[in-house]
Structure formats: C-alpha cells, structure tokens
Amino acid sequence: MDIVTEKSIEKLINSVLDVSKYVFERKLVSGKAGNISGRIKVDNNNVIAITPTLMSLNRLSFNDIVLVDINGNNIDIDSFNNIKKDNKIIKNNNIKNNNGKPSSEVLMHTYIYKNRKDINGIVHTHSPYATGFSFSNKKLKRMEGFGKIEREFLKEIPYKKPGTIELAKHSSIAISDEDVLILKEHGVISVGKTIEEAGDLAEFVEETAKIQFVYNTLNNI
C-alpha cells in the first residue's frame, strides 16, 4: 500500500471504537479515563486516530474519534482534497468534521509513535489491579505470555504529571524497547503492531496483576 485510502482511515477509526468498547467492558477503564489510538503510516505520512478528551470510551461514535498528525495537531479534513492530489490521502466523505479535542495524552501517543516505527496501536488504561501495584512498592513480575519482554519485572517510570510533555518524553523513551510500561502512581501503557494487539496486552497486564495480588495475599495468610 503506498497511499492512505478512504477505506483504511475508516477501518482505523472502527478499530479504535471496537477496542475502546472492549477495554471498557473488560473494566480496564472506567468513567472518562483511558485513551486509545491507532496509526496508519505510509512513508513519512502519519494519520493517527485517537479517542477524544473528556468522553467515556464506552460512548464513542465514529465522528468522536479525532484524526491528528504526528505532532498531535488535528488534520484539516478540507486539506484531504489537496493531499489527494499528491496521492497521499483520499478524501473520506464519511468523516464529517475533525474539530474534536483529542485526548489530553495526545503527545504521549505521538511521541511513542515517533520512537516506535514498528507499532501502530497504543492503549493507555488505569486498570485497577495494575494501577494498584503502580501506587505500591511492589513490582509486577513478567509472566509467560509477554512475548519479547525479557526482564524479570515490567518496566516502570517514576510519576510525571498526566497530560504533560514530561510524561510524553519519559514514557516514549522508556517504551522504546518494551511493549508495556507501568506509569508509577498513574496506570499502564501497552503498545502493539495493531490496536487490537495493544488492547489484548492491556488486558493481559491486568490479569497478571490480579494473579500476583492473589498469590501475594495467600502467601501472607
């Protein structure tokens, strides 16, 4: 594929919607917390579809998803026509507007995409067990199923204020050789080749935290 097509953008948005619903139903996010994005990358042309700020991931519809470039700026839908002339993007008549405000963590997503050319999906949750560990002095052990992650414990970074460029910088550097990152006193970032893979990993991290909570508890009885 050498152009970003109408169909591929639609498919990307629908994947963000599907995984948003999935992580909500699996109780990995609640209220208006959490954010999810996916990317299409053709040469140096990035289209990132990201969940909006201040909306529940359970109640999103097609036009709520915000399209941003690699710097986190909303993509001007009208410019799609111009870009089409360069054969980069074909205008999508189903995308009515793109005026929504992206997630407050949009820079965390775009910084990670800049550092990880190999991934196209990011899921950020405050899933309760894993986030509980992030507030404690206990580390989460890496368990079978984490694939290429080879450390004994999941990687962590110290607390940085949510929504800041500091969090974007630190998390994007730390996740350059990992697919999961624990944000101390905050939550979890999972990345994958696809949004679905990142969502599955987010669920697996939470499952891992539950198992470790149970055996830590039983061992102390």
Instruction: Identify the active-site residue in 25, 105, 166, 203.
Output: 105
Q: Establish if 187 lies at the interface with Zn ion (CB under 5 A).
A: yes
Return the number of the residue (4 or 205) whose C-beta is nearest Zn ion. Answer: 205
Closest CA to 122 of 48, 61, 46: 48
Which of residues 33 and 42 has its CB atom nearest to Zn ion in the complex?
33
Residue placing its CB nearer to Zn ion in the complex, 105 or 179: 105
3-state secondary structure of 191: strand
Q: How many residues bind Zn ion (CB under 5 A)?
A: 1
Stretch that binds Zn ion, among 55-63, 132-140, 183-191, 196-204 (CB under 5 A): 183-191
Supply the minimum distance, in Å, between the C-beta of residue 189 and Zn ion: 9
> ∠ CA(195), CA(198), CA(200), 5° rounding?
110
Q: Is 105 a catalytic residue?
A: yes
Nearest distance in Å: CB 104, Zn ion: 8
Q: Which residues bind Zn ion (CB under 5 A)?
A: 187
Known catalytic residues are: 105
